[in-house]
């Protein structure tokens, strides 16, 4: 029932629906990063950081991805179905992905009061390299098997883990953040003091 309602909203208000969905999932990814990866605890959760991620997801990525996928469907079409899929994945990974990574890192740094130039210098290459390890495969399957109106949703679901990584990458400025309290480099626990 809820899924049918969501599909109906995708047809009647695609941009708004995708933007709200994306905002929620970006905030969820950041919460996963802070609580699951960084192990901050609820008392040290950075709500402003979560808010920045939600704002970026809802105001920038959601509308951009919705518009981008529409563009790919309308404009990137080759005689062969598989050729079309490969061309769309190539456009997505070599045009949209680096621009999106640049906008994400720059806007996050700006909203934090930090240097966008320095953030890009520190975090763009590791972020884009990780992007190329994951997203071409996801997008190939997405373009091949998923109906056009559901593609941003599929990206958003996979993005839960990806947004967790982006939040972690952004908070570290491209450098590996300090280990959670009580852990060693090798992953073991320190003895109590």
Domain spans in the chain, listed from the N-terminal domain onward:
16-172
Asked whether the predicted pLDDT for residue 190 surpasses 80, the reply is: no
What SS3 class is residue 5? helix
Q: Where do the DSSP E strands lie in 5-47?
A: none
Q: For the chain, where are the alpha helices, taking DSSP H only?
A: 2-12, 14-32, 47-56, 62-75, 81-91, 97-112, 116-145, 151-172
70-89 per-position pLDDT tens digit: 999 999 999 999 999 999 99
What pLDDT shows up at residue 193? 41
Asked if residue 7 has pLDDT above 90, the reply is: no
Q: Give the chain's length.
A: 193
User: Look-up: residue for tokens 């972690």?
Assistant: 168
Tell me whether residue 174 is exposed, middle or buried, using C-beta atoms within 10 angstroms of its C-beta: 0 to 12, 13 to 18, 19 or more: middle
Task: Tell me which residue of 170, 25, 27 sits closest to 105, measured CA to CA.
Answer: 170
Of 8, 85, 57, which is closest to residue 155 (Cα–Cα)?
57
Please give the share of the chain, as a percent, with pLDDT higher than 90: 69
Residues 58-63 have a mean pLDDT of 95
pLDDT digits (tens, 9 = 90+) for 108-117: 999 999 999 9
């Amino acid at each position: 029932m809820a899924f049918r309602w969501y599909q109906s909203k995708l047809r009647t208000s695609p941009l708004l629906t995708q933007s709200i969905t994306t905002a929620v999932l970006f905030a969820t990814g950041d919460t996963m990063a802070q609580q699951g990866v960084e192990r901050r605890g609820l008392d040290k959760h950075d709500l402003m950081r979560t808010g920045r991620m939600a704002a970026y997801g809802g105001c920038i990525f959601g509308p951009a991805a919705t518009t981008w996928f529409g563009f790919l469907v309308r404009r990137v079409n080759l005689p062969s179905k598989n050729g079309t899929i490969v061309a769309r994945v190539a456009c997505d990974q070599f045009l949209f992905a680096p621009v999106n990574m640049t906008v994400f890192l720059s806007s996050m740094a700006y909203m934090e009061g930090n240097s966008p130039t320095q953030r890009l210098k520190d975090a763009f290459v590791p972020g884009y390299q990780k992007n190329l390890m994951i997203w071409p495969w996801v997008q190939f399957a997405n373009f091949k098997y998923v109906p056009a109106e559901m593609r941003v949703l599929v990206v958003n679901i996979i993005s839960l883990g990806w947004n967790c990584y982006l939040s972690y990458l952004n908070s570290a400025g491209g450098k590996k953040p300090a280990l959670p309290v009580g852990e060693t480099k090798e992953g073991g626990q320190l003895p109590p003091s």
